[in-house]
Amino acid sequence: MKLDDITTVGMAGAGSMGAGIAQVAAMAGFRVNVVDVSEAVWSRAEKTIAKSLERIVKKGAMTEQEMKETLARISFSTDVSTLQDVRFMFEAVFEDINVKKELFAKLDAVCGDDTIYATNTSSIAITEMAALVKRPANFVGMHFFNPVPVMKLVEVIPALQTAEATKNLALEMAQKIGKTAITCKDTPGFVVNRLFVPYIIDAVRLLEEGVASAEDIDTAMKLGCNMPMGPLEFQDFAGVDIGYHVSNIFYDYMKEERYAPPGLLRNMIKAGYVGRKAGKGFYDYSEN
Ligand SMILES: NC(=O)c1ccc[n+]([C@@H]2O[C@H](COP(=O)([O-])OP(=O)(O)OC[C@H]3O[C@@H](n4cnc5c(N)ncnc54)[C@H](O)[C@@H]3O)[C@@H](O)[C@H]2O)c1
């Protein structure tokens, strides 16, 4: 199958990532059939996409008419059978292997033999997921970054079972929807998180060892390395519990001490200090 043969793409999941992927695919001219579990979820996604497009119009990068046409190319449903004619399927449902397994079983029952599945998982092995579907050769990882309309990178990750043609189609798809793709092996964290996670863990260790305060560690990385956010601020933003979970995945796979989650993270979770969403993490947000 060639990229030109694809006019409609499917999007399973309309959360933060799904809404973003649906938006960039529609901006590239694809019709996008989005499926999520309830109308309440997709109406939130619809609003997010509309607001994001309005910002693009305000910047002068899109006309009002183009915005309307882009929105009109996106349709929403709870019914997986609306995906039966789709030949390229993005997946961004919850990061839970059982949820993904159930979804792919439903997709296998309705999608055609040549449909490509591109998962956006951050932490589940692509090879493990490919083993769940009828046609593993058509399965590939396409890891986007949040917020999708802004972040330029996509990591394309072939599973052991992925056909070369599937990988190439994913690379072409990434380019068509305005992204720069890199290719990498199916290992925890791919490239970006493989480098970024140990950096975050080391920042927690510096704090644990009393080398510097949280504020000073963050200031050091913002002013010394031009990072937009310090590592501990980032951890609060993304969720201390998520950081702990990801660190454990790395450690389980690599069995290297440097990936082991610091004790401070475990204790913070026990105390309920999981970051901004809880009002407290490395910083106190109770005033906000
Ligand atoms: N948030 C990030 O920064 C980020 C970055 C890269 C990759 N990812 C990956 O993207 C995926 C989605 O993450 P997210 O942050 O968008 O999550 P999210 O919780 O915002 O959205 C997930 C969506 O999936 C929907 N969903 C659950 N079960 C479903 C089903 N059976 N059918 C259809 N929809 C279903 C939920 O209703 C929800 O709207 C995960 O695999 C995650 O690892 C997330």
The CATH number of the domain where 199 resides is what?
A: 1.10.1040.10
User: In this structure, are residues 219 and 230 in contact, taking their beta carbons and an 8 Å threshold?
Assistant: yes
CB within 8 Å of 177: residues ≥ 6 apart:
21, 24, 25, 27, 28, 30
Q: Are residues 29 and 149 in the same domain?
A: yes
Q: Is residue 193 annotated as a catalytic residue, yes or no?
A: yes
Please name the residue that has the structure tokens 């290297």.
Answer: 256
**pLDDT value of position 287:** 81
Would you give the end-to-end CA distance of the chain in angstroms? 52
Domain end position, chosen among 119, 153, 183: 183
The pLDDT tens digits for 28-87 are: 999 999 999 999 999 999 999 999 999 999 999 999 999 999 999 999 999 999 999 999
Residue nearest to atom 27 of ligand 1 (CA): 93
Instruction: Note whether 149 and 52 are within 8 A (CB).
Output: yes
β-strand partners of 275: 280
* Residue where a domain terminates, one of 137, 163, 183: 183
Q: Let me know if residue 287 belongs to a domain.
A: no
What is the predicted pLDDT for the residue at 184?
97
Is 115 found in the same domain as 43?
Answer: yes
Compute CA 73 distance to the chain's CA centroid, rounded to the nearest angstrom: 22
Q: Which tens digit of pLDDT belongs to each residue from 100-156?
A: 999 999 999 999 999 999 999 998 999 999 999 999 999 999 999 999 999 999 999
Whether residues 213 and 236 fall in one domain: yes
CA distances from 189 to 122, 184, 186, 197, 203 (A): 7, 10, 9, 8, 18
- Kindly state whether residues 157 and 215 are assigned to the same domain: no
Can you give the pLDDT at residue 233? Answer: 97
Which listed residue (33, 91, 120, 155) is catalytic? 155
Q: Is residue 106 in some structural domain?
A: yes
Q: Is 233 a catalytic residue?
A: no
In a domain, 284, yes or no: no
Two tokens, residue 66:
């183009």
Over residues 215-248, the pLDDT tens digits come to 999 999 999 999 999 999 999 998 999 899 989 9
Judge whether 16 counts as a catalytic residue: no
255 in the same domain as 179: no
Residues 161-216 have pLDDT tens digits of 999 999 999 999 999 999 999 999 999 999 999 999 999 999 999 999 999 999 99
Distance 93 CA to ligand 1 centre (A): 4
Give the residue ranges of DSSP H helices in 31-96: 39-58, 64-72
Q: Domain holding 177: CATH number?
A: 3.40.50.720
Q: What is the DSSP letter of 284?
A: B
Kindly state whether residue 282 falls inside one of the protein's structural domains. Answer: no
Tell whether 11 and 123 lie within a shared domain: yes
- Statement: residue 288 has pLDDT above 70: no
With the most atoms of ligand 1 within 8 angstroms of its CB, the residue from 11, 36, 79, 132 to mutate is 36
Asked if residue 283 is part of any domain, the answer here is: no
Residue 203: which domain range? 193-277
Residues 223 and 133 in one domain: no
User: Do 147 and 56 have their domain in common?
Assistant: yes
- Of all atoms in ligand 1, which is nearest to the CA of residue 17? 16
**Same domain for 149 and 53?**
yes
Quick one: 202 and 228 in the same domain?
Answer: yes
Q: How many domains does the chain have?
A: 2
Specify if 273 maps to a domain.
yes
Number of H helices, E strands in the chain: 11, 8
- In the set 120, 138, 193, 247, the catalytic residue is 193
Residue 213 is a catalytic residue: no
The Cα–Cα gap between 265 and 244 comes to 6
Whether 178 and 214 map to the same domain: the answer is no
- What atom of ligand 1 comes closest to residue 94's alpha carbon? 22
Q: Is residue 188 part of a domain?
A: no
Residue 113 resides in a domain: yes
Of 183, 217, 246, the position where a domain reaches its end is: 183
Predicted local confidence at residue 228, as pLDDT: 94
Q: Are residues 157 and 80 in the same domain?
A: yes
Q: What is the pLDDT of residues 44-58, one digit of tens each?
A: 999 999 999 999 999
